[in-house]
Amino acid sequence: MSHNLQFYIDGAWVDPIEPRVIDVINPATEQPFTQISIGTAADVDRAVTAARRAFESFSQTTREERLALLKRIQEVYLKRYDDVAEAIRLEMGAPVTLATKSQAAIGAGHIGQIIKVLEEFEFDEMQGNTLITREAFGVIGMITPWNWPMNQITCKVCPAIAAGCTMVLKPSEIAPIDAVVFSEIMHEAGVPAGVFNMVQGLGADVGSAISAHPDIDMISFTGSTRAGVLISKAASETVKKVHLELGGKSPNILLDDANIAASVASGIVDVMQNTGQSCNAPTRMFVPRKFRDTALAAAKTAADGIVVGNPESPETYMGPVISELQFNKIQALIQAGIDEGATVVAGGTGRPAGLNVGYYVRPTVFADVTPDMRVAREEIFGPVLSILFYDTEEDAVRMANDTVYGLAAYIQSGSHERAQKLSRRLRAGNVYINNPKGDLNAPFGGYKQSGNGREWGVWGLEEFLEIKGVVGYAR
Letter string b/e over residues 227-254, b meaning 16 or more CB atoms within 10 A of that residue's CB: bbebbbebbeeeebbbbbbbbbbbbbbb
Q: How many Å apart are CA 217 and CA 203, to the nearest integer?
A: 19
Query: Which runs of E-coded beta strand occur in 276-407?
Result: 284-288, 343-346, 364-367, 384-390
Listed residue (251, 288, 255) closest to 420, CA to CA: 255
Listed residue (155, 153, 78, 158) closest to 118, CA to CA: 158
Listed residue (318, 295, 334) closest to 412, CA to CA: 295
Listed residue (154, 54, 148) closest to 112, CA to CA: 154
Q: How many residues does the chain have?
A: 475
Residue 192 amino acid letter = P
- What element of type H or E holds 452? strand 451-452
- Residue 163 burial (CB count, 10 A): 26
Catalytic residue among 245, 379, 455, 463: 245
Identify whether 394 is a catalytic site residue: no
Report the catalytic residues.
245
